[in-house]
Chain A
Amino acid sequence: MKGIIVLFLALVVLVIVPAVDLAFAAGDEPGEYVDRRVIIWNLFFRLMTVAFVVGAVVSGTIIWQVWRFRESHPKAKPTPYEGTDW
């Protein structure tokens, strides 16, 4: 549970802090629209870079898991719970 809480807090920081930063890239003042737009697209690409990196890691992990922990894998072994009424 501790690990999960630490992970949760880390995710909160990772998501919310850049998001607030992103929000303040958008201004309401007329005349600054073009510059703001450039900043927004810059942030968009940065955000997408982060999203794709995280996505690649998570998706890669899932794909690897599917391959490695399938029951037909040569190294597959029974889990400690098999044969019990878990």
Chain B
Amino acid sequence: MVVELAKPRPIWQIMFSTHHTDVGLLYLIMSLAFLFMGGALALIIRAELFLPGAQIIGDAMTFNRIFTVHGTTLIFLFILPFASAVGNYYVPIMVRYKDMAYPKLNAIAFWMIPPGGALVWLGFADFTWYATPPYSIISAPGPAADMWIFGLKILGISSVLGAINFVVTILKCKHPDMSIGQVPLLAWSYLTSSLIILVAIPTFAAALLMLLTDRLGVSGFFNPAMGGDPIAYQHLFWFTFHPEVYVLVIPAIGMMYEIIPRFSRKPIYSYNSGIFAFVLLAIVGFSSWAHHMYASGMSFTEKTVFMVGTLAAVPASAMHVYNFIATMWNGRIKFSTPMMWAVGGIALFFSAGAGGVANAAMPLDFSTHDSYWVVGHFHLFVMGTIAFGSIGFLYYMFPYVTGRMYNETMGKVHFVMSFIGTVLVFFTQHILGLYGMPRRVFDYPPIPEWIAMNQIASVGAMIIGVSMVLFLINMIYSSGKGKLADTDDPFGVGGKYYYPFEAKNPHH
């Protein structure tokens, strides 16, 4: 029986365990730690931009360092490890296997993340999470930049090892009585996102090596002075990181597929369309990378091809939204905290997608390129959809992990404040972009509209920050002192759950 905190064990037993729920717990705690660290940096950024001129950060270089580490942390050290946490808890149970396919590899994949994260944080590089050359190879100060490159290299290997484990667990270790068409949609989301990782990450791994050797001066792949081409790096980077967007979002949607039917008290409306949309997203994710590069001088035909490839993701995303709506229809919905986060996530997913359509349309992209529109769009996806789905699922799995219930009122307050804050920050940033404010700027001219909108965004960020403090208090207090959960049906909605609680195999 695995209810982690209700039956305390020495910390070393969990740290050196290879059991999937123990590794899941380690992933969970570490990803939440990085969520708060990366979030704190976001608040510093928003405080700086509250008014024109230098406010609390001394210089532009420090500002660049802060938003570089903010982005790197929240993508690589919060969202991805959090998805791994959920996958570790649920995937083996969903495919009815005793553990992950390769338990030791699983633990190794986790233990590569702390050194990777340490390199990123101790270096504090300044070249954005894109590490775009030529700046990153010619001017970015070392050793921060080199530490970032090594850190990302380690995190990439960890992702690949984790992905191999998920693919093998789902395809080869599922119960013989279970066909692939019976695997729950949450597990399907891990299968598709893991396959994307396996195809996409090696390209970035190669690009990082090339970046490093360019920095060392022994090659000139991306160095114009040595005949290289910085645009080539952009292609390699986005070939990995546009699909990576789907690696981030697909598990969050999978989590919503677990929450929404549960709290609607009826099965998912169309299981097959959910699988179809996951697979379609995984495929079209590779046909759209260059939409990030319309302004880099591509030919008209290339741009059109990538625009159509990008828009092909819209029907697949819409299928998920309609599937959720159809599932809730005629349900008897219990709006516990996880359901509120999931429904809020759907609404913001749709809004982010609508903005993305305008972004992807090549002629319009020139109006929004490198403006705050892009910042708003990207963050609406990662915060509004991925983080909302993830946090909702954290509340959902909380009683299974701790054996106790969180404080429901605080959870709902957390949701309401985060929803309001998210709308204030990221919708406003879209408009700010249309008003022409460029992204990644330390200072801006005192244009009244820019000041007003930056202040709205900063206030929204502070609201999110306060809500996250409530969340932290709720999690820490409830895991120790919360009401004991009914682990058979903690939310009182009935039906068959997939419990980590059911993982009855002894710890390794």
Asked, given contacts A28-B300, A69-B332, whether A85 binds B264 with beta carbons under 8 Å apart, the answer is no
Q: Is the Cβ of B364 less than 8 Å from the Cβ of A40?
A: yes
B322 within 8 A of A: yes
Chain A residues with CB under 8 Å of B329's CB are 65, 69
Distance between Cα atoms of A79 and B267 in the complex (Å):
10
List 7 A-B residue pairs with CB atoms under 8 Å apart, sorted by A's residue number: A8-B273, A12-B315, A19-B307, A40-B367, A55-B351, A82-B265, A86-B496
Distance between Cα atoms of A51 and B346 in the complex (Å):
16
Chain B residues with CB under 8 Å of A40's CB are 363-364, 367
Chain B residues with CB under 8 Å of A65's CB are 325, 328-329, 333
Distance between Cα atoms of A25 and B363 in the complex (Å):
7
Band of interface residues on A = 35 or more
Chain B residues with CB under 8 Å of A81's CB are 265-267, 495
Q: Is the Cβ of B330 less than 8 Å from the Cβ of A79?
A: yes
Closest to A7 in B: B322
Chain A residues with CB under 8 Å of B354's CB are 51-52, 54-55
B361 within 8 A of A: yes
Distance between Cα atoms of A28 and B308 in the complex (Å):
18
Distance between Cα atoms of A4 and B346 in the complex (Å):
18
What is the distance, in angstroms, from A85's C-beta to the closest C-beta of chain B?
5
Question: Chain A at the B interface: mostly helix, strand, loop or mixed?
Answer: helix
Distance between Cα atoms of A58 and B350 in the complex (Å):
8
A23 within 8 A of B: yes
Query: Which of these, A15, A47, A61, A71, contacts B358 with CB under 8 Å?
Result: A47
Distance between Cα atoms of A40 and B311 in the complex (Å):
18
What is the distance, in angstroms, from A84's C-beta to the closest C-beta of chain B?
8
Pairs A-B, 9 closest by C-beta atoms: A26-B363, A11-B315, A4-B273, A40-B363, A51-B354, A79-B266, A23-B304, A15-B314, A79-B265
Distance between Cα atoms of A20 and B305 in the complex (Å):
9
Distance between Cα atoms of A77 and B363 in the complex (Å):
50
B104 within 8 A of A: no
Chain B residues with CB under 8 Å of A7's CB are 319, 322
B49 within 8 A of A: no
Q: Is the Cβ of A79 less than 8 Å from the Cβ of B314?
A: no
Q: Is the Cβ of A22 less than 8 Å from the Cβ of B270?
A: no
Chain A residues with CB under 8 Å of B409's CB are none
Q: Is the Cβ of A8 less than 8 Å from the Cβ of B315?
A: yes
Closest to A9 in B: B315
What is the distance, in angstroms, from A39's C-beta to the closest C-beta of chain B?
8
B357 within 8 A of A: yes
Distance between Cα atoms of A1 and B270 in the complex (Å):
7
- A48-86 interface code vs B (CB 8 A; 1 in, 0 out): 100110110011011001100111000011111111111
B312 within 8 A of A: yes
B440 within 8 A of A: no
Chain B residues with CB under 8 Å of A59's CB are 347, 350-351
- B311-325 interface code vs A (CB 8 A; 1 in, 0 out): 110110011011101
Q: Is the Cβ of A44 less than 8 Å from the Cβ of B314?
A: no
Distance between Cα atoms of A76 and B332 in the complex (Å):
6
Distance between Cα atoms of A16 and B287 in the complex (Å):
14
Closest to B364 in A: A44
Query: Which of these, A16, A44, A80, contacts B311 with CB under 8 Å?
Result: A16
Q: Is the Cβ of B364 less than 8 Å from the Cβ of A47?
A: yes
Chain B residues with CB under 8 Å of A16's CB are 308, 311-312
Q: Is the Cβ of B358 less than 8 Å from the Cβ of A86?
A: no
Question: In the complex, which residues 1-37 of chain A have their Cβ closer than 8 Å to any Cβ of chain B?
Answer: 1, 4, 7-8, 11-12, 15-16, 19-20, 22-26, 28, 36
What is the distance, in angstroms, from B41's C-beta to the closest C-beta of chain A?
31
Asked, given contacts A7-B319, A65-B325, A83-B494, whether A51 binds B334 with beta carbons under 8 Å apart, the answer is no
Distance between Cα atoms of A8 and B313 in the complex (Å):
11
What is the distance, in angstroms, from A45's C-beta to the closest C-beta of chain B?
10
Distance between Cα atoms of A69 and B357 in the complex (Å):
31
Distance between Cα atoms of A25 and B332 in the complex (Å):
48
